[in-house]
Amino acid sequence: MKNKTWMKSLQKKGITAGLILAFCAVLSACGGQNGQAGAGKQTESQAGKQADAGEIGKKLAEELWGSRYQVLIATHLDKANHLHNHFVVNSVSFLDGKRYHRTNQDYRDMRMMSDRLCKEYQLSVVGQPEQGKGKHYAEWQAEQQGKPSYHSMVKADVDEAIRKARTEKQFFFYLREKGYSFKFGKDITIRPEGRERGLKLKRNFGENYSLEAIRVRILEENELPAEKKISVGKYYRIQVSGNFKQTRKIRGLRGLYLHYCYLLGILPKNRLSISAKQVHVLFREDLLKLNTISKETKLLCHYHIDTAEQLFLLKESLQKKMEQCAEERKYLRYKIRADRPEEEIEEMKEQIKVLTEKIGMLRKKTALCDGIAARSKVIEEKFKTVREEKEKKEEQSHEHIRRSR
């Protein structure tokens, strides 16, 4: 009802229905209610950055459309702390009634103006990308921080295969050894083992990854500059009590997770860092989930969970504690409504705050139990595949030796 009244008031001011619909959609995307940006406490630094972003958006809108079109600017901060602007343009000019048509040149102009304004405000800009598919923000951010991403790991494997190979046949042999399969068309599609969908090399990584360019790089040994080594251990280390050598005696879920952490390069604590390409191709996807895997391992070690039954009982216990805390909080919220001294009310508020934090912690642990139950089955399947792959290679090697005699 509020939205209808609001829309009518905008229509009285001469704003078109098309603009109103777009305006509502953008504000909803910002995560607020009734067209308002999501509420929450901000630090002075965050507020300053948001003000700068809003000012940049306003100047950009004035330069691009200000003389002919109505523009709405919404400054948005998403989950990845990625501060950016959304623009909604009324496609009908208030000056002459002509419709706005956007071309590729308009997009390039927008980028140039945006970069120039960001530099004026001493903000970073994304460098000129290689021709090919654009990067997702999370992928770009991981690259800037030197952390592994799915794309960066595949690209590193392709570059390594090009450096090692002396022929095109060797190039594909090295990739096949790492667990990749291929499909050929206008572009090479490469798919790691365990992935349903593959990646098109040229589309995702640029002109240097077309089949013809790869052939030239192999023949001329025309290597690209070596990329920054992605170190797994540099970013993740798990601190668990006890001697790591004794973990060989541990079985069940704890043993499974500790062994997996060792293969991923995050255990033991004093181990030398390993690069992502040293991790088996089947396990690499989990390099992107190390934070969660670390938490799950700590939970298993803290509560000494070795079996699925123990895990179920732990989850049940955590849920009961969570329900008790929720009941206590509910009772305190009921008591706080009565007319009581200010000191007593403040004390109850503090108790409610502590209970809320405890409920949040218990809820996270419960979610980790669910994650362990699901992930442990996947890890076991991966281990089984790796064992079968190893046995097959050993069998082929023995057969080759037998025939050569």
Amino acid at 260: Y
Mean pLDDT of 95-108: 81
CA distances, 401 to each of 44, 113, 330, 396 (Å): 70, 66, 73, 9
User: Quick check: 352 and 325 in contact, CB under 8 A?
Assistant: no
Band the pLDDT of 19: cuts 50, 70, 90.
Answer: very low
HSE, CB side, 13 Å, CA atoms: give it for residue 203. 9
Distance (Å, whole) CA 51 – CA 53: 5
Band the pLDDT of 48: cuts 50, 70, 90.
Answer: low
User: Quick check: 227 and 159 in contact, CB under 8 A?
Assistant: yes
Query: For the chain, what percent of residues have pLDDT higher than 90?
Result: 16
| 13 contact partners, CB below 8 Å, separation of at least 6 | none
- Model confidence over 286-296: pLDDT tens digits? 777 878 888 89
Q: Strands of 118-197 (E only): list them.
A: 180-184, 188-192
pLDDT at 45 over 70: no
User: Quick check: 187 and 210 in contact, CB under 8 A?
Assistant: yes
